[in-house]
Amino acid sequence: MRCAMPRGRIKDAAAAALLASFFLCLFFFLSAGTALADWTPLIKRLVADRFDESTVQALFSRPEVQFDPMIMSRKVEALVRKRGARPSSAVVRRYPSVYRTFLKPGMIEVARAYLRENSTSLDEVRRKYGVPQEIIVSILLVETRLGEYVGQRFAFNTLASMALCTELEMIRPYVSEEILTPDNEDFARRRLREKSGWAYNELRALLVYADRLGLDPLRIPGSFYGAIGICQFMPSHAVNFGVDADKDGKVDLFSRTDAFHSIGNYLRGHGWRTGMSRAKKHRVIRAYNPSNTYANTVLAVADRLVLKKTARKQPKQKAIPINPA
């Protein structure tokens, strides 16, 4: 059955089609190559936020700057999927999940050797912030395998790409069809805008962090979502919680001593206290990474490191004679 569409709705439909065409053109324009990406909205925003215009223009005109719509599309997909699959808290309590890889004996041995190697510096963190050595090492193990994997992307490109994606239409061609159902679209649009705003703030912090360290902001490696350093801090955390522990005048999250103290400072700043309950520890670790599996794993690895240390310290039992006289 055909229905007559009111004139106002025809206008709305035409406007929507025009808007979709505009964003589709923009998409092709952006995906045609890095040199063609239109960074103007981002540049204007940074300049309005008092970043030096010529510096920002020069930065975005460099060939290393690349727009990658896949980062935001993956984030939106993950958020939509998470929305549709929320296990009950009872299930979470009954089956606490962990990343089993990090609990393998070989992995624990490597972490224990790392703890021993850095015990002086880690002990300073314990005394200053009240955070046990095992927790610091456990976080580093889960985040970057003790500094081995700090990300294969450049944090600038990641954050700038996400910040540029302010409209769902910019990533629509990259999102799986089953994700953007009529039920999910408004949610996806809202979360994308939130994440775009979040990425913009992190991009600003990255520029501040790079400036303080005298680093090229385009050459700082980061995770898929822009976390940096061996402790994988978001740039805003690096600016707000980073500690120059080795007193070289710079907060370098790729250096062990600064990273150890920065983790201690962050956890302390988010409520870590000596002697707190396991449930409270779990809550503070979730402030580092909002995942139950993550917090469970960090605590489980730390438990094993403590057990190993305790077992090593215990004196050998005297052998009991088989046939006592």
Q: Which is nearer to Ca ion, 73 or 257 (CB)?
A: 257
Instruction: Find, among 260, 262, 258, the residue nearest to 250 by Cα.
Output: 258
When asked if residue 124 is in the footprint of Ca ion (CB under 5 A), the reply is: no
Q: Which is nearer to Ca ion, 246 or 303 (CB)?
A: 246
When asked if residue 248 is in the footprint of Ca ion (CB under 5 A), the reply is: yes
- Dihedral sign computed on CA atoms, order 139, 285, 251, 273: negative
Q: How far apart are CA 264 and CA 249, in angstroms?
A: 19
Q: How far apart are CA 250 and CA 240, in angstroms?
A: 13
Among 169, 185, 246, 303, binds Ca ion (CB under 5 A): 246
When asked if residue 229 is in the footprint of Ca ion (CB under 5 A), the reply is: no
Q: How far is CA 9 from the centre of its chain?
A: 43
Element (H, E) at 57: helix 53-60
When asked if residue 185 is in the footprint of Ca ion (CB under 5 A), the reply is: no
When asked if residue 169 is in the footprint of Ca ion (CB under 5 A), the reply is: no
Q: Which is nearer to Ca ion, 225 or 260 (CB)?
A: 260
Q: Quick check: 108 and 69 in contact, CB under 8 A?
A: no
Q: How many residues contact Ca ion, by CB under 5 A? A: 6
Buried b (16+ CB within 10 A) or exposed e, 181-208: eeebeebbeebbeebbebbbebbbbbbb
When asked if residue 233 is in the footprint of Ca ion (CB under 5 A), the reply is: no
Q: How far apart are CA 260 and CA 134, in angstroms?
A: 11
Q: What amino acid is encoded at 115 in this protein?
A: L
- DSSP code at position 61: T
What is the x/- site pattern for Ca ion, positions 253-292, by CB under 5 A?
-----x----------------------------------
Closest approach of Ca ion to the CB of residue 139, in Å: 19
Q: Which is nearer to Ca ion, 134 or 252 (CB)?
A: 252
**Counting beta carbons within 10 angstroms of the beta carbon of residue 90, is it exposed (0 to 12), middle (13 to 18) or buried (19 or more)?**
exposed
Closest approach of Ca ion to the CB of residue 150, in Å: 17
What is the x/- site pattern for Ca ion, positions 189-228, by CB under 5 A?
----------------------------------------
Q: Which is nearer to Ca ion, 238 or 267 (CB)?
A: 238
Closest approach of Ca ion to the CB of residue 264, in Å: 14
Among 244, 254, 273, 287, binds Ca ion (CB under 5 A): 244
Q: Which is nearer to Ca ion, 232 or 262 (CB)?
A: 262
Give the footprint of Ca ion on this chain (CB under 5 A): 244, 246, 248, 250, 252, 258
